[in-house]
Amino acid sequence: MSKDGNWAGGKIGHGLCMAPLFVMAALAIGPLLFLAGGSLMGGNEIEACIRPVMNGEEGYAGWHFLPLYPTLRHLVRVLFDSPEFFQMFWNSMKITAGTLLGQLIFGMTSAWGLARYRFFGKKVVYMLYIVLMMMPFQVTMLSEYLVLDWLGLMDTLWAVILPGIFSTFSVFIMYRFFCGIPEAVLEAARCDGAGEWQIFWRIGIPLGASGIISALVLQFLECWNLIEQPLTFLKTKSLWPLSLYLPQIRLEEAGFALCASVITLLPALLVFLAGSDYLEQGIAAAAVKE
């Protein structure tokens, strides 16, 4: 659009506008630096920093972003000496993998059907999906509980995975991308004698790939951060995902907690970094008109 030089008020105006942008960015990234530094700090150093919070002493907690005496002690303890952390890491993995895999199977086909075919009841189903997508967990909580209880799935990982598979949000994202494939491509394939399933498999999936990945990235971040569902449907602590376990660690073990937080964060951060383009596309898909 306009060159950087075109700002009203020239260079000074430019600087004034830019400053808040970078302050906001610093606020957004700050917690990452805090966690990264803290995970390398020794127990004594952390305690010295946050003693006022722990014991209510006079003065205020302080922090240094670069540890004075870096150590890997907490990291080693989290990785090799805390079986419960490992257990919950796997629970999180199972929940996330199960949900994503299920969405690939059920969500993708649903989105394709809704996007590319005209059939009786399509409008109603689409409306239902949109409305369902908008309902917060508290609205569907009792419904989900009733079914899970009826199926005898309460207090198993399935109680979190199965409803997650049929979340209509990812159907909506994939639907948006599938709609963008030109009909002419599909018609051409039909003329060449391709069956509907073949068209979906050979044309729909490859051409809609960015939408599918977008949906998966968004859903991964959501699954990894799941709090309400496991809190409601899982009673046994050994089934809990990391998101419920971390807050249980007490302030006295701040070093351990920081390290565990970082390791919890890593998979999400990796997915985020690898898929940030797709993430942006997925988010933007909702705002752009069909």
Partner 1 sequence: MRQKKYTGWFFLLPGFLGVSLFYLIPFLDVVRRSFTQAVGGNFVGAANYQTVFTNQAFLLASKNTMRFAAVCLPLLLLISLGIAVLVQRLETWAGFLKGAYLVPLAIPAASVVLLWQLLFDRRGFLNGLLHLTGWDGVDWMNTGASFGVLVFSYIWKNLGYDVVLWIAGLSMVPKEVYEAARVDGAGEWRCFFYITLPGIRPAAFTIVVISFLNSFKVFREAYLVAGNYPHDDIYLLQHLFNNWFRDLSMDKMAAGAVTMALVIFILVCLLQKSWDKN
Interface of this chain with partner 1, residues 166 to 195, rule: CB under 8 A: 166, 168, 171, 190
Interface of this chain with partner 1, residues 271 to 290, rule: CB under 8 A: 271-272, 276, 279-280, 283-284, 286-289
Give how far Cα 250 sits from Cα of 6, 29, 111, 163, 247, Å. 53, 25, 44, 32, 8
Put residue 152 in one of left, alpha, beta given phi > 0 → left and psi -120 to 50 → alpha. left
Identify which range of 67-75, 93-101, 163-171, 205-213 contacts partner 1 by CB under 8 A.
163-171
CB of 94 to partner 1, least distance (A): 16
Identify which range of 17-25, 69-77, 78-86, 93-101 contacts partner 1 by CB under 8 A.
17-25
Residue 218 and residue 205 in contact, taking contact as beta carbons nearer than 8 Å: no
Among 74, 215, 258, 278, binds partner 1 (CB under 8 A): 258
CB of 50 to partner 1, least distance (A): 6
Identify which range of 65-73, 78-86, 93-101, 259-267 contacts partner 1 by CB under 8 A.
259-267
Q: In terms of C-beta density within 10 A (0-12 exposed, 13-18 middle, 19 or more buried), how is residue 197 classed?
A: exposed
- Provide the residue count of the chain: 290
Q: Is 230 in the site for partner 1 (CB under 8 A)?
A: no
CB of 78 to partner 1, least distance (A): 13
Q: Is 207 in the site for partner 1 (CB under 8 A)?
A: no
Among 10, 11, 15, 25, binds partner 1 (CB under 8 A): 25
Q: Is 203 in the site for partner 1 (CB under 8 A)?
A: no
Give how far Cα 5 sits from Cα of 9, 14, 17, 22, Å. 10, 8, 13, 19
Amino acid in position 239: L
Q: Is 161 in the site for partner 1 (CB under 8 A)?
A: no
Give how far Cα 72 sits from Cα of 106, 233, 254, Å. 43, 36, 14
Among 43, 194, 196, 205, binds partner 1 (CB under 8 A): 196
Q: Is 13 helix (H, G, I), strand (E, B) or coil?
A: helix
